[in-house]
C-alpha cells in the first residue's frame, strides 16, 4: 500500500476510534479536498452523507519530500482553534479530536458556508462581513493582550505557542524577499524592473521601515494572532462567518492580522477595479476596506474600558495611545502584505487571475505604491477615510 493510501486508512481508523459524529459501522469514504500550500485536508463521509474534516500536517511541506516543516504547527493550530472558539463565541470550526501522534486535527465540516475567496471569485458580496470580522478580530486579538488576559497565563501561552518554522516563512516571504530577492523567486511584470529597483530593492527609506516592522513582528508578543488571515482563511454565508486555518499563529502584533485582512481586500479592490468587475462587487470591496478599519475602532472604543483589567491602563489617554499603535500597525502590515503578494513568490487568487491582463504592469505599480504609502505614512492612517484617500489617489492616478 502506498503512503497516501496508508494515511487515508489510518485517518479512517482514527475517526472511528475517537469521534462519534459519523456512523462508525459504515464503510467511511475519504477524499482529499484542500489546495493549500502547507498541509493536507481530507473530508470523511458516512453513508448518510454526514461528514467531517481531517487536517493532516506532514513533517514536510505539502507536495515536497525534502522541505521539512515542524508538525508543531498542528499542535499550535489545535490550541488556537479551542481558544478562539471560546473568545469569539464559536466563530471558528469545532474541533472533535486532536491526535498529536498522527498530527491530525479532526474538525467540523462547514457545510453551510463557502470559503470567502471562492464566493468573491463568483462576485458575491456580504454586507455583514466588515462588522463580523472586526468583532472577531477584537475578541481574539485585544482579549489576548496583557490588558485583558491574566498576565501569567498570557506569558505561559505565548511561550507555548512559539511557532518557529511558520514564523520563519513569514519573516522571509513577507519582510525580506520582496525587498532583497535573495532567493531569486520574486515575480512581477518585466516592464516593472526599474520600478521595483527604485521602489523596493534600492529604497533604503522603505527598507528601514520594513526592518522595523519585521522586528516588531518577531518581538512584539502583543496578541494571539492568526498569522495568515486572508479570504482563503474565512468561511462565510449570508448570516455570519467562521475563521479557520490558524497554522501560522503565534503571539505577535495584532495589527498584523487586521492589516492582512485590509491588505488582501485592497488587492482584491485594485484587481477587480481594473478587471471591470460589476460595480456593486467592486464597491463592496472598497467599502469593506474602509468599514473594517472603522468597525474595529468602533468595537474597540465601545468595549475597552469594560474589558481592560488593570487600573493603570484604564485611562482615556492610554486607550487612545494604544489604539493609535494598533492603527499604525494595521496600515503598515497591510502595506507589507500588499507588496509581498504583488512582487513575491506567494501570489493570491485575485493577482493570479490578472497576470495576463493588459494593465498588469499598472496594477502592480498601483499596488506597490499603495503598500509603500501605507508603510511610510502609517501614523496618519487613523480612520477608514484615510484609506479612502490613499485608494482614490493611486487607483485614479494610473
Is position 229 an interface residue for ligand SR1 (rule: CB under 6 A)?
no
Q: Which residues contact 50 (CB under 8 A, 6 or more apart)?
A: 21, 22, 23
Is position 245 an interface residue for Mg ion (rule: CB under 5 A)?
yes
Q: CB of 230: closest distance to ligand SR1 in angstroms?
A: 7
Please give the torsion angle defined by the CA atoms of residues 118, 269, 298 and 85, in that order, rounded to the nearest 10 degrees.
20
Is position 346 an interface residue for ligand SR1 (rule: CB under 6 A)?
yes
Q: In whole angstroms, what separates CA 314 from the centre of its chain?
A: 30
Q: CB of 36: closest distance to Mg ion in angstroms?
A: 5
Dmax over CA atoms of the chain, in Å, equals 65
CA–CA separation, 356 and 364 (whole Å): 12
For 340, phi then psi, to 5°, come to -70, -35
Give the interface segment with Mg ion, choosing from 56-64, 121-129, 239-247, 274-282 (CB under 5 A).
239-247
- In the list 87, 130, 148, 169, the residue contacting ligand SR1 (rule: CB under 6 A) is 169
Is position 167 an interface residue for ligand SR1 (rule: CB under 6 A)?
no
Q: How many other β-carbons are positioned within 10 Å of the β-carbon of residue 86? A: 12
Nearer to ligand SR1, 169 or 366 (CB): 169
Q: How many other β-carbons are positioned within 10 Å of the β-carbon of residue 276? A: 9
Is position 376 an interface residue for ligand SR1 (rule: CB under 6 A)?
no
Of 36-55, which residues contact ligand SR1 (CB under 6 A)? 37-38
CA–CA separation, 150 and 254 (whole Å): 18
- In the list 110, 173, 354, 361, the residue contacting ligand SR1 (rule: CB under 6 A) is 173
Give the interface segment with ligand SR1, choosing from 123-131, 167-175, 271-279, 295-303 (CB under 6 A).
167-175
Nearer to ligand SR1, 210 or 390 (CB): 210
For 288, phi then psi, to 5°, come to -65, -40
Is position 104 an interface residue for ligand SR1 (rule: CB under 6 A)?
no
Closest alpha carbon to 186 in 337, 343, 37: 343
Is position 351 an interface residue for ligand SR1 (rule: CB under 6 A)?
no
List the single partner that 364 binds among Mg ion, ligand SR1, none, CB under 5 to 8 Å by kind: none
List the single partner that 375 binds among Mg ion, ligand SR1, none, CB under 5 to 8 Å by kind: none
Nearer to ligand SR1, 252 or 384 (CB): 252
CA–CA separation, 398 and 386 (whole Å): 19
Is position 130 an interface residue for ligand SR1 (rule: CB under 6 A)?
no
- In the list 58, 177, 209, 228, the residue contacting Mg ion (rule: CB under 5 A) is 228
Count of residues touching ligand SR1 (by CB under 6 A): 7
CA–CA separation, 154 and 166 (whole Å): 21
Please give the torsion angle defined by the CA atoms of residues 285, 286, 288 and 289, in that order, rounded to the nearest 10 degrees.
120
Task: Based on DSSP, count helices (H) and strands (E) in the chain, helices before strands.
Answer: 15, 10
CA–CA separation, 364 and 196 (whole Å): 10
Is position 77 an interface residue for Mg ion (rule: CB under 5 A)?
no
Is position 228 an interface residue for ligand SR1 (rule: CB under 6 A)?
yes
Is position 337 an interface residue for Mg ion (rule: CB under 5 A)?
no
Give the interface segment with ligand SR1, choosing from 168-176, 297-305, 354-362, 369-377 (CB under 6 A).
168-176
Give the residue nearest to Mg ion (CB). 245
Strands (E), the chain: 29-32, 40-45, 51-56, 95-99, 104-108, 114-115, 223-225, 234-236, 241-243, 250-252
Q: CB of 104: closest distance to Mg ion in angstroms?
A: 17
Instruction: Point out which residues bind ligand SR1 (CB under 6 A).
Output: 37-38, 169-170, 173, 228, 346
Instruction: Point out which residues bind Mg ion (CB under 5 A).
Output: 228, 245
Amino acid at each position: 500500500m502506498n503512503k497516501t493510501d496508508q494515511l487515508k486508512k489510518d485517518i479512517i481508523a482514527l475517526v472511528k476510534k475517537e469521534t462519534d459524529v459519523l456512523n462508525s459501522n459504515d464503510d467511511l469514504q475519504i477524499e482529499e479536498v484542500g489546495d493549500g500550500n502547507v498541509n493536507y485536508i481530507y473530508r470523511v463521509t458516512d453513508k448518510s452523507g454526514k461528514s467531517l474534516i481531517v487536517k493532516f500536517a506532514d513533517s514536510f511541506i505539502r507536495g515536497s519530500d525534502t522541505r521539512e516543516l515542524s508538525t508543531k504547527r498542528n499542535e499550535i493550530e489545535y490550541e488556537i482553534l479551542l481558544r478562539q472558539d471560546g473568545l469569539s463565541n464559536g466563530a471558528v470550526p469545532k474541533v472533535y479530536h486532536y491526535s498529536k501522534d498522527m498530527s491530525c486535527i479532526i474538525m467540523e465540516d462547514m457545510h453551510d458556508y463557502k470559503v470567502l475567496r471562492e464566493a468573491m471569485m463568483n462576485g458575491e458580496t456580504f454586507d455583514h462581513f466588515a462588522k463580523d470580522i472586526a468583532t472577531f478580530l477584537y475578541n481574539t486579538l485585544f482579549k489576548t493582550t496583557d490588558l485583558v488576559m491574566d498576565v501569567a497565563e498570557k506569558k505561559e501561552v505565548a511561550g507555548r505557542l512559539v511557532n518557529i518554522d511558520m514564523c520563519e516563512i513569514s519573516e522571509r516571504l513577507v519582510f525580506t524577499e520582496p525587498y532583497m530577492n535573495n532567493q531569486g523567486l520574486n515575480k512581477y511584470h518585466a516592464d516593472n524592473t526599474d520600478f521595483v529597483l527604485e521602489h523596493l530593492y534600492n529604497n533604503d527609506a522603505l527598507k528601514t521601515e520594513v526592518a522595523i516592522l519585521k522586528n516588531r513582528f518577531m518581538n512584539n508578543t502583543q496578541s494571539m494572532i492568526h498569522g495568515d488571515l486572508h479570504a482563503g482563511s474565512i468561511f462565510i454565508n449570508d448570516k455570519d462567518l467562521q475563521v479557520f486555518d490558524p497554522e501560522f499563529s503565534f503571539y505577535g502584533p495584532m495589527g498584523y492580522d487586521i492589516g492582512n485582512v485590509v491588505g488582501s481586500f485592497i488587492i482584491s479592490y485594485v484587481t477587480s477595479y481594473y478587471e471591470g468587475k460589476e460595480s456593486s462587487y467592486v464597491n463592496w470591496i472598497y467599502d469593506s476596506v474602509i468599514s473594517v478599519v472603522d468597525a474595529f475602532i468602533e468595537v474597540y472604543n465601545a468595549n475597552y474600558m469594560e474589558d481592560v483589567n488593570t487600573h493603570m491602563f484604564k485611562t482615556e489617554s492610554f486607550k487612545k495611545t494604544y489604539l493609535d499603535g494598533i492603527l499604525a500597525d494595521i496600515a503598515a502590515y497591510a502595506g507589507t502584505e500588499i507588496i509581498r503578494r504583488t512582487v513575491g513568490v506567494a501570489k493570491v487568487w485575485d493577482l493570479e487571475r490578472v497576470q495576463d491582463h493588459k494593465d498588469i504592469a499598472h496594477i502592480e505599480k498601483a499596488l506597490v505604491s499603495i503598500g509603500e504609502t501605507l508603510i511610510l505614512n502609517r501614523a496618519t492612517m487613523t480612520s477608514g477615510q484615510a484609506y479612502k484617500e490613499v485608494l482614490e489617489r493611486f487607483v485614479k492616478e494610473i
